[in-house]
Amino acid sequence: MKRVWRFSSHATGVQLLLFQSHFSGFSKPKHIPSFSTVLSYRQLNTVSDSFSHLIPLFTVNACSSTSTKEDLINNVTILRNELIRDSSDHVQVQSILDYKYDDLSSRYPKGYVFLELMYQLKSNSSLALKVFNWRRKRCSAENPMDTNEYSKGIIAAGRSGNIHFAIKLFKEAATKGVKTTSTYNALMSAFSVNGLADCCQSLFCDLKRDSTCDPSIVTYNILISSFGSLMLVDHMEATFREIRKLDLAMNISTYNNLIVGYITAWMWDDMEKVFQMLKSSPVQPNMKTYLLMLRGYANSGNLEKMEDTYSIVRDHVNEHEISLIRSMICAHYRSSEADKLKKIELLLKFIPEEEYKPWLNVLMIKLYAKEDLLEKMENAINKAFEHGPSIRSMGILRCIAATYYRCNAVEKLENFVRRAEISGWSTCRSLYHCKLVMYGSQKPLHELYRVLEGMENAKLACTKKTLWIMHKAYSNRGQSPMVLKTLGLMFKHGYEFPLDAIPS
């Protein structure tokens, strides 16, 4: 008897595809949300955390010794590196597998090599799919594929964005009688990682109706991740309530996924409640938990808790979590701490030169400018010129100009304006007005016209402020004819000026 699929009124194209696939093969879904929809979720790397318990790497107790397990991992790592080296050549990938896989498999229990290889290729989904398809083509009645292998393939297809193939593999597993909770979970994870929460929920409902399978805590973890990534907080919380109602044993992924959902929705109080709930539970926070909380505290500006959490995972963050260091720098930048510059510069030391980010460099330019640290500001400006991206923000350019003015660095300002013009940066009147003010007190007065020519070349018209700066410069230097000429220009453009501004 064919399964009857039920859909909500807001069923997506992929849900309809699931229905059609039971009867007439596959057609391309019309609407698949962009990966950018779930960008912040995927940057937190919660998908692998959510599904790390989906399929065991291998049955630990079945291995005779720790050395055997280590030997398996080391040998598979060598095979993986060879495959990655030739991953662009499909024929060569098959050749490597044909030549080395069987020999390696003969030394370990059945299936262990494949599962370990797929595990090690989880960050290279395209290559993982090549390995899976190679194994799929070689399966036979004597050497069939089991539920764990199909689950690995479905997950790899989901990570590569190939929803059609993931669904096909799910159907194939069902046809071959190896459909289990694991294959349901794998397809749910494929939907989740692609932002298809409706499809994930629809498949979950089918799992609950399937008399041969039962949802596991992993199933509910996937649902929480799926809803949380799209900020469907009500759905996420309803799923959590169902877990508690069923009295399922929650694991660390359950709590971590809830924390991620609240971070994504910027619900800081709820994030903290889940963290405190975790600490009072039998489950203990892991490294992932502390990294998530560190990000949450940084984004919310909770500097005290951010610093406390950073002290717990400092070594790991400094070496492996550059994006978190940037988040902490931003948190300090937004604060009103007296010593925030010192703290920011300490964090900057852990960011390698090759990890240069234009936006972070611009932030440092602005910070140095506000602190009137001219030399450091210029070093950051030089780095911006060197790496190419131009500054377009008028606010930052005004901040730079004000720093040169307060430091009375007219030559440096002139050099900056010239380089900015050559490099195609945006320009603003404040740069030229600062030059006019400083030229008026330090340079021969005819130099003022050079500044006006620069403004004209930059297509910046003279304003009332421009003329008043020139008027003041000429007045202070006793240049009565030029004062009158400037007042005449102000009168011509309809600008008001006080009567006592006319020289006697």
Q: State the sign of the Cα–Cα–Cα–Cα dihedral 448, 451, 456, 460.
A: negative
Res 90: pLDDT: 84
Q: How many residues does the chain have?
A: 504
Q: Does residue 352 have a pLDDT over 70?
A: yes
Q: 259: pLDDT confidence band, cut at 50, 70 and 90?
A: very high
Q: Does residue 472 have a pLDDT over 50?
A: yes
Q: Which residue has the higher pLDDT, 289 or 72?
A: 289
Do the domain assignments include residue 75?
Answer: no
Res 137: pLDDT: 92
Q: Does residue 256 have a pLDDT over 50?
A: yes
158-161 contacts, C-beta under 8 A, 24 or more apart: 158/186, 158/187, 158/189, 158/190, 158/191, 158/192, 158/193, 158/194, 159/47, 159/122, 159/125, 159/128, 159/190, 159/193, 160/125, 160/126, 160/128, 160/129, 161/35, 161/194
How many other CB atoms are there within 10 angstroms of residue 372's CB atom?
13
Q: Does residue 53 have a pLDDT over 70?
A: no
User: How many domains does the chain fold into?
Assistant: 1
Do the domain assignments include residue 439?
Answer: yes
Q: Does residue 36 have a pLDDT over 80?
A: no
Res 24: pLDDT: 37
Q: Which residue has the higher pLDDT, 109 or 383?
A: 383
Q: 82: pLDDT confidence band, cut at 50, 70 and 90?
A: very high
Question: In the chain, what is the greatest distance between 2 CA atoms, to the nearest angstrom?
Answer: 111
Q: Coil, strand or helix: which one is 231?
A: coil
Decide: 256 and 289 in contact? Cβ < 8 Å. Answer: yes
- pLDDT tens per residue across span 434-452: 888 887 776 676 777 777 7
- pLDDT tens per residue across span 230-249: 999 999 999 999 999 999 99
* Nearest Cα residue to 117 out of 74, 159, 68: 74
- pLDDT tens per residue across span 119-134: 999 889 999 999 999 9
Res 129: pLDDT: 94
Res 84: pLDDT: 93
Q: 264: pLDDT confidence band, cut at 50, 70 and 90?
A: very high
Q: What is the dihedral of CA 352, 355, 358, 364, to 10 degrees?
A: -30
Q: Which two tokens stand for residue 331?
A: 């948190």
| 450/436 Cα distance (integer angstroms) | 9
- pLDDT tens per residue across span 56-75: 433 334 444 566 888 899 99
Q: Does residue 387 have a pLDDT over 90?
A: no
Res 438: pLDDT: 81
When mean pLDDT is compared over 287-301, 419-433, 480-494, the highest value belongs to 287-301
Do the domain assignments include residue 177?
Answer: no
Q: Which two tokens stand for residue 17?
A: 């595809």
Decide: 190 and 157 in contact? Cβ < 8 Å. Answer: yes
Buried b (16+ CB within 10 A) or exposed e, 174-189: beeebbbbbbbbbbbb
Do the domain assignments include residue 387?
Answer: yes
- pLDDT tens per residue across span 135-149: 999 888 888 999 999
Is pTM beyond 0.85 here? no
What is the mean pLDDT of the segment spanning 146-155? 94
Q: 315: pLDDT confidence band, cut at 50, 70 and 90?
A: very high
Q: Which residue has the higher pLDDT, 425 or 321?
A: 321
Compute φ and ψ for 430, nearest 5 degrees: -55, -35
Q: 10: pLDDT confidence band, cut at 50, 70 and 90?
A: very low
- Between 58-62, 154-158, 347-351, 361-365, the lowest mean confidence (pLDDT) is in 58-62
Share of the chain above pLDDT 90, in %: 55
Q: 464: pLDDT confidence band, cut at 50, 70 and 90?
A: confident
How many other CB atoms are there within 10 angstroms of residue 150's CB atom?
26
Q: How much is the CA Rg of the chain, to the nearest whole Å? A: 32
> What is the extent of the structural domain holding 406?
356-461
CATH number of the domain encompassing residue 397: 1.25.40
Q: Which residue has the higher pLDDT, 42 or 335?
A: 335
Q: Which two tokens stand for residue 396?
A: 């930052």
Do the domain assignments include residue 233?
Answer: no
What is the mean pLDDT of the segment spanning 177-190? 96
Q: Does residue 279 have a pLDDT over 90?
A: yes
- Between 38-47, 150-159, 263-272, 361-370, the lowest mean confidence (pLDDT) is in 38-47
- pLDDT tens per residue across span 411-429: 898 899 888 888 888 888 8
Mean pLDDT of the chain: 83
Res 500: pLDDT: 52
- Between 26-35, 106-115, 360-369, the lowest mean confidence (pLDDT) is in 26-35
Q: What is the dihedral of CA 141, 147, 149, 150, to 10 degrees?
A: 100
Do the domain assignments include residue 365?
Answer: yes
Do the domain assignments include residue 342?
Answer: no
Do the domain assignments include residue 234?
Answer: no
| 37/158 Cα distance (integer angstroms) | 16
| 132/111 Cα distance (integer angstroms) | 12
Q: Which residue has the higher pLDDT, 227 or 487?
A: 227
